[in-house]
Structure 1
Amino acid sequence: MNVIYSLFADFLDDTLAASLVILVVIAIHAILQKVISARVRYLLWLLVIIRMLLPVIPDSPLSMFHVLQFGEGIKSALTGQAADTAPLPNLQAAAPSNQGLDSDSDPQSGTPGTGDSINAGHLQQADGQAPGGRHSSAAGIYSPWLKAAAIIWFGGAVFLFLNGLGIMSRQLRGRKRLRRVTDPRPIAVLEDALNRFGVKRKIPLYTGSRAKSPFLSGVFRPWIYVPELALQELTSPQLLHILAHELAHYKRRDTLWNLLGSAAAAIHWPNPLSWLGLHKMKTDRELACDAYVLDVLGEEEAAAYGLTLVEFLKQFSKGRTDREVLYFFGSQHRQQITRRVSMIHSFKKGSYRISAAAVLLLILLSVVTLTNASGDSKTDNTAVNDDLINLYKNRNYNRLDRAVEEAGFAFQAPSVLPPDFILERAYLAVTPPQAATATAKSEDNEIEQVTLYYERYDGDIHTGQFSLEAYKDSSVEQIYTALELSESSRGDGGTPLPVDRKPTTIGGINAIHVNVHVNQYVQKLFYIWERDGIVYKLYIGSGTLSQQEIASLMTSIKYPDEQMKRSFVNKKLFNVDVIDVKDLRMAADIMGFVPKFPIEESGFAMNRAMLTSSIEFSYPLDGLGMSRTVFWTAYSNPDVTFLQMQNQGLYETFKEEGQVFFFRIDGEKFAVPLTAAHVNGQEVLVTEPYKIDGELSKPTEPDFLSYFWQDQGVIYKVGFTGVPTLEDQQTIVSSFMKVPAADIDKLAAAAAQAH
């Protein structure tokens, strides 16, 4: 069923875009109705059909969807996905988890020497729900109402397709009950018409009493039907007009476009604008066909051709029409007949031909309507360098949009996730750690690898994971060789793990399927492929996904559009790197205050900044402490960390109790005594020297020391690795005290000037 839900989500996107194209075409018709010919009007409708049926839409900077961004909001409301671009609300967490995907492949999995262990694992909400929930990823597509709507849409589409096949089947059976015309007069008229239109193919003519109007049927083996009464009563010139009309449909391939229009109607059946567009297209098709007939027969035949149309209306009644055939008259209203007669009356020789201006109009409309905004695609992925910390390139993000912006190269990602999965984090690396055999290396610290980690939780229990890695400047064989080398060396006792590979095709992706046999019960599954110069490696944990879920996942992989980039956000992930101006603005929104951001202070430089959990500040004294966020920065030479968070009475509690609790490696807390002192005229609380894990630490591990103070509702912490002299301690703490809150606009201007 996930495949149906995914198709329905794509349908919502496609039908919204098609609706906008239909409105554009209607507007053009209204504005240029006296300028463009019937043929051009019909060709504009063919753009609508193409838009409704194309499974893949290319990107263009000229796409009209750059301007019509309001469509994204409508689609977001329909799918139940979060599409707002407002600042993220406060991040919340309850307990750390050390589980993750191949943590040894991520050089950022910890930050030693800070005085507090940095846990890059997944954190749960205080209410026990899976982090981020269905509203933080494309899993939001699977809301109950959307599931019901998807099933209704799919059922309606299947019914209409089957109904269309039934009509085609009835056409074939009905033809057997008709009589093939062999009478000399109508055959001679048909031959004349074939010659005038340059048709060398023998198209049979049938008659009978099945329908009251002539029609053309058959896409690949066309044939013409003329009612028996019409053959008897119409003069040869009138019969020529009718047969010419049907041959015009044949020459213009209208039977094929009619079939495609029926397919579009079946897919987009819930959209009333699609039915309106198809109705108008059929009207303009008849006008274009009439113009083609007159272009072939000659302008002098216009009056006689119009009289034939009117005479037919008087003498022959309408019959029931099938959408797979093209009727000369069919079920058209009198107003439409009037339009046809008016066009015939005003027809001028050569008006059927397409002018250079019309060609330019069609090309322009094709570019702006049959494309998507290129900002969603691989064509616009140059990252703007506004880094504030220039020495640090590898980075973690909790949201897809920031990963896309900062990668510097275009990569694809799953647009629909298996049930209950969320995007846990995106990791960007300068040098792919698992692509050691890659020959192309970055010369200017460009990002060369993006890894997207996806997690599934049942309450606080980790139940599954997979990852998708994208490699720039690598080949499939290089990535496979690196994988084989890495995985085969992980066997027990030095015995290499068996690694099997075979070619496979899933969701239109030609990939290498790699199976690593860990033991008789456990296997690791990998898929490696290349697309548009980027190599992808999908890692599926053993037993995580079924084959159907894997196929659905790979089928959904595409370049992230605006909806994807806004929807895939893990609002509960911590250890989110703050490197550039956008990150700092986001951090200020999340923290609820503008943090201090001393890049260089007292002769030492910042080497890392991130948002992390309050457990890095201290052991929470109550459940509320778990839901708070810390802004954490690290410096070297000396090794110092600087942490900031909202106070909310925490400093007063530390002072009253005379101690602070920290996390041990086993998740338990240990107490460290505090002493009140003054630095730069400001009261501070100073810990005794302590080990990182208290009594569980080894004697050889370094000592740590921490200072706390509060100012204007914010509590600060400076952590030392090692114990400097008292004078050095107070100098450094005093420096951090004097630093004002960050002037983000000034930092942005300085970063832009520097780069």
Structure 2
Amino acid sequence: MIVLKTIFLLILSASLGSAVIVLLLLFIRRLLHLRLKPAVIHFLWLLVLIKLLIPVGPSSSISLFNLMPQTVAGKWTVGQSDMAAPLGFVNDREDSEPQPSASAAPASNTDTKVGSQEDSVSLDSSPARLGESISIKATSRWSNLLRAGLFIWLGGIAFLSIYHIIGTLVFRKRVRFSRPIHNEEVLSAVRACSEKLGLKRTIPVYESSCVQSPCIYGTIKPRIFMPEDILVIADSRQLTHILLHELAHDKRKDLWLNSLWTLAVWLHWFNPLVWLARRKMVADRELACDAVVLEALGEKESASYGLTLLMLSRLFSRSSSMRANLSHFFNNTNETKRRIAMITKFKQGSSKLSVMAIVSILFLGAILLTNANAESNASKAEDAKKENTVSSFRIDRLMPSFKWFHNLGRALAFASFDFKVPDYVPEGYRLKYIDMGKNFSKANQADLVEYVSITFVENFGRQDERNIEVYASRGKGTMLEHNLLWGASYSREPGRALSYRQEALTVGDRTGTMYTTSRSRYKQPPETAKSFVWQENEITYAVNYYSKDLDHDELAKIVQSAVWPDQVRHVDYSGAGNSFPLYDEKDLQEAKDILGFPVKFPFDISAYGLKLSDSILLQANDQNTGFPLRPDTDALWHSYRVPYDSSIYELNDYISFYQSKAPVVDVNKLSFLRTLEISGIGISVYTDPDHVYSEPIHSDNNKLKFKSQTYYVWEQNGIHYTAYFVGVDRHQEENLEALVLAPVQ
């Protein structure tokens, strides 16, 4: 299945790249068709065919795709289950119950969705998973979507191949009774035409009632089929024209190319531009074939050849039922004018490719068939580098409007509005984390919602983990339309039936609305999810829960207990023992106090653009995060993101840097590579071939390859350091040196 998914992703990538090439060639074809030779125009379609059938290509500094923003590639790959990154998770609000942390894994850091003015920006998140990338559920949903797309794609291929095979078998059955033509005039014409075109073999000619136009069939043993009574209708000159055209197809190996185009259409059947490209290619192939015929006949015969084409267009028509690999003399009425126009303007030598044309085609091939350059210009990153210090403490997070906290006090320090919080939660529940962010999807933020989400957890990290989520929000939009409610899945599609039940309800002393729906729970069958929503002054509140986890009486207690934060007496909002992100010097000082040693805090790594994108204090045995690497000791975790416009690294490359009093990885579970030394510090280098700490991660640009995953482990002044490099193959030692030599704070 993994191989099939990889192939499918490669096909999707090739289809996207070929679409760009097709549009460019259609533009060239329309603009320059009167100036370009027919052979050149037809040869250009070969570039599309190569792109369709060979999706993996070399990188080049002159590639057309260098002009495309690198974020396009990032969006193309985002959400795949294997695209891991260190920045955590953004919750998918259509299925927004936080998942059991023990199974959580890092995901891609592309969580900001930028659209048009009509669908401008959507910012959404879930805190404990570090809030600046895709959630594990979004990843799972993408994986399911990918699997469904794979089966649909395979089904389309199966249908087309069966349809083609049936058409071929039917054609072969019909032409089995064709009569070979033994007329000496025809045989002599065939020999003469073959000699003119330089063909060494003699191709047999048959007369058949099942063809409506002269055609050639057979890649290995070609045969020419003529409609019945063709010898009566056509004179010797017209017969020569017909035979020359069909033999020209054999000389140009058009049937072989036609087979490859059929394969390309099968693989990319979902792409309408591929079907259009094949149709335009067939039309241009006929012009190129006409040019070969006229080259053999001479310019004086061009008018006579044009009359033959017009005569056959009146007498015959192509059968639309034939799906065999054929090349017809007369193909399409709509293209007859183009062929006649080319014939009238034909000049001797136009069927051959000049040196200039060959060079131009090769240059276009280098531009269109290569990938964006992966090489870098380090000075570009150096020029873009901005100085940063701990005193200013500005981490360039991918989504600065979203934040998450381990306690209420830190959340209140960043809140943009006042809100109440529950002073009661059922026994066994404890604070997990607090979300804070903004959502909007319309122009001018017309549906903006600012929200605070408080999540309580019971049985953290276990299969039976349970969560209750309490929201406070304000703004022009609603929690419903931004899919923040577990009990309702909102769709913007007009006329779509509601998938949830909505009813007015009084809970305790609060009157509001209850939303109810059936929702799948993480690795569990669907259950009844509920959301009770009410309003106090300008603030809207909501409680998200599963009916199995919370009864009506418990809900009433939670709702009625809402008080201002300084009035809380019965719920512990301190978040003691939980991990937390660092936003300013206060967080940094708290982290240093917990760790008990001075820390390294480099904001930039060397001259290659890697910048600090997140910093988290990981506390051992916390109850609010679930990263695959869960150290047994407290550790400070820095994440360094590749700049979006980097030409050195792939978009989803990153470095994770850990510092703690004890090792955060067990090197006995890793595979030793080598040792190196930087400024007298000995460093051990490991890989993780058994994927103890991380799953394999595909390359962004080549799904047949995997990113490198390298662990650098060293001890310095009694502190243990681990640097985890993902895909950062270039300048590894320079980047590592920046971490080793970074001063402690």
> Shorter-chain TM-score: what band?
0.3 to 0.5
Tell me which protein shows more helix as a share of its residues. Answer: 1
